[in-house]
Chains A and B, each alone.
Chain A
């Protein structure tokens, strides 16, 4: 890749960096700023990072799988290092001295004898350019000024003053508002639209019926919604094609059944998790300006280039005539992989010939956003006489996890994510079953890892108790990876795992290796006599390789744990035949300030010699099992069904007659 696609040193000496990744609150703009400032040896205030603008940034598949820092850190650092070296070479020519005698400092280059030249001077005649070498040397750690230092979010001042501009805050000249008429069943098509009443309502600019989209454009939001409600639409029931279950073997060792049959102890259990909502605080929004020769889309999206192509196809423009400009976005945790709201805004804008903002209502967000699939996880394991696992059979039943629909090529890495335990097991049989569902399901934070790790880490806890072993020691007997062992030991130390806790309280342990990031957690919960679970404290040790922004990592992991505690204790998206019934915060409550644990203590213990890996998802992955295991420790209730409601905990705590 060429430098000019990645890094530009501006005429005023400031630096602009370009990446196809997207900020959703994970702090990647801040981490990228630190990386570039570090290698170019400039203050962070002088770096600006452009994310996802398809006219400005290099192509990128998108932001998912906690891969942004892992993929971009090496590339951005190399680009910035190459820029620095090029600047030094220019300075050598300018000053008439050898490059080896020159060094950078705060955006200037000096020879140590008082001669200095600024980056601004060095790019005045010609911008930096050239192919970035794959082996471009990076600054040695003793020269680092920004990597590894805590830094508040670079957008922080804009956020706290309200100046931050999210998608729904984009105000273009002549901006109109759109509202969509929703069908009674997903996939239903409008046969006929009677818009006589709607067209005469105040503020109405256009009524649009284009393929599967029926909507109204009006001057104001209230007017667009009122007119959309006034449309008389004859809906045609959807034709659903019957999809088959995809069966994807993930691991098939020889003779797992034989090993199970000859095991000294066998146990089986089934775990279930419901569908849950991304429950973004800001409902989906997009602003589109579509003309006959081009279009601009302002949106929150995980995949700016994918969105560009989807919009281009839908409104009939060449891909290179569509520009996607990602805006600050409410966190959507995977949901914005789907292009839906941008397509709606684009189609409405095309017909209304005005820029159009569509922002979904809260009810639309719950009812029509893709949600996390349901999961049923069946597991059987056998232990030998020494209490070690000798055989493992695991069947994961779930639905599609990707907005693009079922795809056997990616099923293992998406719907099957983390189905294979991180433990040394001689014989294992792990099979993924991707089953059809009437519900709209798609990308959700950590994909299937949160579900699989709930089942695996709960079951390992059960196996330990069944064989009278300490749950942590039992796990350790099956872990070879030194980095996983280290985070497990460290979190046990930090939490005092195994120490006595007050009555009705308990500690639960869980760990995971997620896309290269090592996480171990201990949760301390209290279970009331009526079965209410309160999470008091959570300890977490995370090793994401080389740490760029320690406080950024802590914030992400804390948030993942808090969100996961909410999933685990409170959340269930109810639906009937794919029609969502829980469409408000009343019927779909999430954790509030009152539910927040007293403390979530995250120790960031990275490995500076290992590549940086992501932290947006892994913190959320083991928490459900840590909480469920803590509930068992507190009151003897083994709850295998999420959410851990009062009724389920009470029922599981009943002594079996």
Chain B
């Protein structure tokens, strides 16, 4: 099944089996292994990617459906060497242990901040509720999302000034 997928701004032609999920194509055809396999049924968040602005479970999305969308994976959040503010904030708060669930958490947080620049605590918890973490870094991750929101707020406030 020939498909053209747009991932991280680049079009890729792939030929997976008809039943392939977006996750399988990302990991096995495109070599984008930063999106992790966790459960295969959309219950853990390890495989989240951003599809048309929303965080979704790539394990549940058929590859052919993904071909109609703009997909951003964890590998696509940084601009060259400059990390996304959520990535910077997760490092600053050391909001990780084994790190297996971190890609999915960062994807959820980036999608949240793109639609809500100043989420309160409950909004952060709700937005990340689909991302399971067994090591137990929830508290740090919540702080990291708040830190990223603050950093984005400062950037946002600065942006008009730069345009003048």
A residues within 8 Å of B by Cβ? 24-27, 152-153, 155-157, 159-166, 168-169, 171, 202-203, 220-223, 278-283, 328-331, 333, 359, 361-362, 551-552, 555-556, 558-563, 566, 584-586, 590-597, 599-600
**B126 near A: Cβ within 8 Å?**
yes
**B111 near A: Cβ within 8 Å?**
no
Residue of B nearest to A223 (CB): B17
Q: Is the CB of B126 within 8 A of A563?
A: no
Report B-chain residues with C-beta under 8 Å of the C-beta of A222.
17, 19-20, 24
Q: Is the CB of A171 within 8 A of B91?
A: no
> How far apart are the CA atoms of A374 and B156 in the complex, in Å?
54
Report A-chain residues with C-beta under 8 Å of the C-beta of B35.
162
Q: Is the CB of A166 within 8 A of B97?
A: no
Q: Is the CB of A169 within 8 A of B38?
A: no
Question: Can you list 12 A-B pairs, Cβ within 8 angstroms, ordered by A?
Answer: A152-B91, A152-B94, A156-B90, A169-B27, A278-B134, A333-B134, A552-B94, A559-B136, A590-B134, A593-B128, A593-B131, A596-B142
Taking A161-B87, A362-B43 as given, write out 12 further A-B residue pairs in contact, using a Cβ cutoff of 8 Å, ordered by the A residue number. Answer: A159-B96, A159-B102, A162-B75, A163-B75, A164-B34, A222-B20, A280-B100, A280-B134, A566-B136, A586-B43, A590-B132, A592-B138
**B113 near A: Cβ within 8 Å?**
no
Report A-chain residues with C-beta under 8 Å of the C-beta of B128.
593
Within 8 A of A (CB), among B35-57: 35-41, 43-44, 46
> How far apart are the CA atoms of A170 and B102 in the complex, in Å?
18
> How far apart are the CA atoms of A362 and B42 in the complex, in Å?
11
Report A-chain residues with C-beta under 8 Å of the C-beta of B38.
281-283, 362
Within 8 A of A (CB), among B85-117: 87, 90-92, 94, 96-103, 106
Report B-chain residues with C-beta under 8 Å of the C-beta of A171.
31, 33
CB distance from A224 to the nearest CB of B (A): 12
Q: Is the CB of B139 within 8 A of A359?
A: no
Knowing A202-B17, A562-B138, A592-B132, the reply to whether A160 touches B102 (Cβ < 8 A) is yes
Report A-chain residues with C-beta under 8 Å of the C-beta of B37.
168, 282-283, 359
Report B-chain residues with C-beta under 8 Å of the C-beta of A283.
37-38
Residue of B nearest to A333 (CB): B134
> How far apart are the CA atoms of A195 and B33 in the complex, in Å?
32
The contact size tier of chain B is 35 or more
Residue of B nearest to A357 (CB): B28
Q: Is the CB of A220 within 8 A of B28?
A: yes
Q: Is the CB of A584 within 8 A of B41?
A: yes
> How far apart are the CA atoms of A25 and B136 in the complex, in Å?
11
Q: Is the CB of A329 within 8 A of B142?
A: no
**B11 near A: Cβ within 8 Å?**
no
**B149 near A: Cβ within 8 Å?**
no
Q: Is the CB of B39 within 8 A of A160?
A: no
> How far apart are the CA atoms of A638 and B106 in the complex, in Å?
40
Residue of A nearest to B86 (CB): A160
**B73 near A: Cβ within 8 Å?**
yes
Knowing A162-B103, A168-B37, the reply to whether A585 touches B138 (Cβ < 8 A) is no
Knowing A162-B73, A331-B97, the reply to whether A593 touches B24 (Cβ < 8 A) is no
Report A-chain residues with C-beta under 8 Å of the C-beta of B41.
362, 584-585
Q: Is the CB of B75 within 8 A of A161?
A: yes
Q: Is the CB of B83 within 8 A of A160?
A: yes
Residue of B nearest to A164 (CB): B99
Residue of A nearest to B100 (CB): A330
Q: Is the CB of B33 within 8 A of A169?
A: yes
Interface residues of chain B: helix, strand, loop or mixed (majority): loop
Residue of A nearest to B42 (CB): A585
> How far apart are the CA atoms of A19 and B48 in the complex, in Å?
34
Q: Is the CB of B87 within 8 A of A558?
A: no
Q: Is the CB of A163 within 8 A of B140?
A: no
Report B-chain residues with C-beta under 8 Å of the C-beta of A152.
91-92, 94
Q: Is the CB of B137 within 8 A of A331?
A: no
> How far apart are the CA atoms of A282 and B138 in the complex, in Å?
17
> How far apart are the CA atoms of A552 and B97 in the complex, in Å?
9
Report B-chain residues with C-beta under 8 Å of the C-beta of A559.
97, 135-137
Q: Is the CB of A162 within 8 A of B28?
A: no
Q: Is the CB of A584 within 8 A of B20?
A: no
**B66 near A: Cβ within 8 Å?**
no
Residue of A nearest to B137 (CB): A559
Report A-chain residues with C-beta under 8 Å of the C-beta of B135.
25, 331, 559, 563
**B141 near A: Cβ within 8 Å?**
yes
Q: Is the CB of A26 within 8 A of B94?
A: no
Knowing A162-B73, A202-B17, the reply to whether A331 touches B98 (Cβ < 8 A) is yes
Q: Is the CB of A593 within 8 A of B36?
A: no
CB distance from B2 to the nearest CB of A (A): 16
> How far apart are the CA atoms of A562 and B141 in the complex, in Å?
13
Residue of B nearest to A585 (CB): B43
Knowing A220-B24, A359-B37, A596-B125, the reply to whether A282 touches B100 (Cβ < 8 A) is yes
Q: Is the CB of A594 within 8 A of B34?
A: no
Residue of A nearest to B46 (CB): A281
Q: Is the CB of B33 within 8 A of A220?
A: no
> How far apart are the CA atoms of A162 and B31 in the complex, in Å?
11
CB distance from A573 to the nearest CB of B (A): 14
Knowing A331-B100, A555-B97, A596-B142, the reply to whether A560 touches B34 (Cβ < 8 A) is no
Q: Is the CB of B134 within 8 A of A331?
A: yes
Q: Is the CB of B43 within 8 A of A600?
A: no
Within 8 A of A (CB), among B3-39: 16-17, 19-20, 24, 27-28, 31-39
Q: Is the CB of A25 within 8 A of B39?
A: no
> How far apart are the CA atoms of A22 and B19 in the complex, in Å?
37
Question: Quick one: which of B17, B38, B96 has the most chain A CB within 10 A?
Answer: B96
Q: Is the CB of B39 within 8 A of A585?
A: yes
Residue of A nearest to B35 (CB): A162
> How far apart are the CA atoms of A83 and B37 in the complex, in Å?
42
> How far apart are the CA atoms of A555 and B101 in the complex, in Å?
16
Question: Quick one: which of B98, B141, B142 has the most chain A CB within 10 A?
Answer: B98
Report A-chain residues with C-beta under 8 Å of the C-beta of B20.
220, 222
Report A-chain residues with C-beta under 8 Å of the C-beta of B32.
162
**B71 near A: Cβ within 8 Å?**
no
Q: Is the CB of A600 within 8 A of B40?
A: no
Report A-chain residues with C-beta under 8 Å of the C-beta of B16.
220
Report A-chain residues with C-beta under 8 Å of the C-beta of B137.
555, 558-559, 562
Report B-chain residues with C-beta under 8 Å of the C-beta of A27.
97
Q: Within the complex, which residue of B91, B106, B125 is in contact with A157, where a contact is CB–CB below 8 Å?
A: B91
> How far apart are the CA atoms of A552 and B75 in the complex, in Å?
26
> How far apart are the CA atoms of A562 and B92 in the complex, in Å?
20
Q: Within the complex, which residue of B78, B106, B132, B138 is in contact with A281, where a contact is CB–CB below 8 Å?
A: B132
> How far apart are the CA atoms of A584 and B44 in the complex, in Å?
10
Report B-chain residues with C-beta under 8 Å of the C-beta of A156.
90-91, 94, 96
